[in-house]
Amino acid sequence: MKLTSKQRLFADEYIKSGNATESYIKAGYSVKTNSSAKAASSRLLTNVNLKTYIDAKMAEIESHKIADAKEVLQFYTRVLREEETEEVALPTGDDVVTVEKKPSFKDRLTAAKELMKRYPLNDPLVAAQLKKLQAEADTAEWKRNELTGDNANNESTTLVDDIGGMSDDDH
């Protein structure tokens, strides 16, 4: 990505302010009128190398500002394992002392619940809901097959007959 120093300065200013005309002026380009600066800055923004530079810088800025899912899960895990601490101010007479405090049981429980939301199959309630949905889907498929005559044996059976023929592993 080859940019001149003025182009790089323009791009950096544009990232900060979002105002192309103002960035064009701050980058040190010669300006006859405000409208000429506006037109020239718009043209400059169409430069492929400049756009690539701006996009890369914006992606870099965003990636540093926003925690990703892995980072959040790691934080919850550290809280759960009491590896995170927080500073708490405690009054002692006329003075205040700051101490490091481990997460409370309530904080650890909240972290555990948040982690479990990300791993729903370990939650018995969610597992039961998934099992119910699967049973409903199986029932709907059976009904469709009965109505269209697409049952496996090409015989007319009832849902009770089909269920009665299932092994305990199928339930």
Report how far residue 27's alpha carbon sits from residue 14's, in angstroms, rounded to the nearest whole number: 10
Tell which residue, 57, 17, 67, has the closest CA to residue 41.
Answer: 17
Whether the Cβ atoms of residue 16 and residue 27 lie closer than 8 Å to each other = no
Q: List C-alpha distances in Å: 112 to 77, 116, 136.
A: 8, 6, 31
- The bridge status of strand 95-101 relative to strand 86-92 is antiparallel
What pLDDT is attached to residue 68? 76
* Angle (deg, nearest 10), helices 34-44 and 5-17: 100
Domains within the chain, CATH numbers bracketed: 5-65 (1.10.10.1400), 71-117 (no CATH), 120-170 (no CATH)
Q: What does pTM read for this prediction?
A: 0.41
Q: For every one of its 171 residues, what pLDDT tens digit does the chain have, with 9 covering 90 and above?
A: 689 999 999 999 999 989 999 999 999 998 888 889 999 999 999 999 999 999 999 888 877 777 777 888 899 999 999 999 999 888 888 888 889 999 998 999 988 888 877 775 666 776 777 788 788 888 888 888 888 877 655 444 555 455 555 544 554
